[in-house]
Amino acid sequence: MDQELQKKFDEQGVKIDAIYKSVEKTRKYFLMIIWITVIAVVVPLIGLLFAIPKFIGIYSGLGI
Where in the chain are the domains? 24-58
pLDDT (tens digit, 9 = 90+) per residue, 8-50? Answer: 999 999 999 999 999 999 999 999 999 999 999 999 999 999 9
Q: Three-state SS for 61?
A: coil
pLDDT at 22: 97
Considering only residues 63 and 9, tell me which one the structure prediction assigns the higher pLDDT. Answer: 9
User: Is the pLDDT score of 64 beyond 80?
Assistant: no
* DSSP 8-state assignment for residue 58: H
60: confidence class by pLDDT, cuts 50, 70, 90: confident
Section 47-63 average pLDDT: 84
Which string of b and e fits 40-54 if b means at least 16 CB within 10 Å? eeeeeeeeeeeeeee
| Global confidence as pTM | 0.62
